[in-house]
Amino acid sequence: MNAIITASELTGDLAGENPPVVLDVRWQLSVAKAAGEPPFDGRAAYEAGHVPGAVYVDLDRELAGAPGGRGRHPLPDLALFGSAMRRAGVSAGRPVVVYDGGQGWAAARAWWLLRWTGHPDVRVLDGGLPSWQGDLSRDVPARAEGDFEPVPGATGLLDADGAAALARSGVLFDARAGERYRGEVEPIDRVGGHIPGAVSAPTNDNVGPDGRFLAAEDLRDRFEGLGASDGTEVGVYCGSGVSGAHEVLALAVAGIPAALYVGSWSEWSSDPARPVAVGPDPR
């Protein structure tokens, strides 16, 4: 099953016999803002217009735990996550389509969590809401309670030790921008740089100017060129396990399974005892 879906395919599926549950996960990374600029409000964006029938999901509150020593977006409490998904109408026997404002990171985080906890049929709307050609709705649907019960472990998950080991034995991709990988700038976390042995592979390079993924064969060529050959174990991390999920999604489109280090750099860099590499060289 393809991990992404086009807007035209979604339109057809919504008119079918078993239409997908659609989740709106609009979100933006919180960084330093100009004085007086309010933070992005995903729910307000949803209420201003969304794919008809879509249900809003809050990434910070429902797809992540509280920030702390495990990172800025650690795994959520699975009981709370399951409750949120059922409240949104998610059931094991019904497909799910997730979208965000176009960047794809937040949608990928929801896709990864649902796949990791055992949902068999989840796809991301390629290009997000900007790719949607139909009308938008301001109606908030009353969804029947779903039956999805999350069972973790269906896909790969890395902790800090596992990520460090994979950087030595396989390929560990760093999905952040190159300047953060090299340690030239670090706008959010304690220190810049990367996990020793990790390979720089910015997730923004997996999409075209329209925000849609490159063709599967082009993605595969890219990742193979970075070391992800057949039989190689692959992992991904980023700043806090959000853009890294987008890279795991790109790898899935390319037909390459990969694990996600959810704590990512925000967890790794919080411990001064963990080694940090800087510059363009993985080591």
**Residues 6 or more apart in contact with residue 192 via CB below 8 angstroms:** 180, 182, 183, 184, 185, 186, 278
Q: What is the spatial distance between Cα 182 and Cα 184, in angstroms, rounded to a whole number?
A: 6
Contact 64, 73 (CB under 8 A): yes
Residue of 21, 238, 249, 253 marked catalytic: 238
Contact 44, 13 (CB under 8 A): no
Laid out side by side, the sheet with 157-158 consists of 157-158, 259-261, 234-237, 171-174, 199-200
Contact 251, 223 (CB under 8 A): yes
End-to-end CA distance of the chain: 36
59 carries an active-site annotation:
no
Specify burial of residue 261 (Cβ count, 10 A radius: 0-12, 13-18, 19+). buried
Q: What is the spatial distance between Cα 198 and Cα 205, in angstroms, rounded to a whole number?
A: 17
**Residues 6 or more apart in contact with residue 205 via CB below 8 angstroms:** 222
Q: Which residues pair with 261 in a beta bridge?
A: 158
* CA angle 12–15–17, rounded 5-degree value: 110
The whole-angstrom distance between residue 239's C-alpha and the CA centroid of its chain comes to 11
Q: Report strand pairing: 96-99 vs 234-237.
A: unpaired
The closest alpha carbon to 15, from 57, 56, 55, 53, belongs to 53
- Tell me which residues are annotated as active site: 238
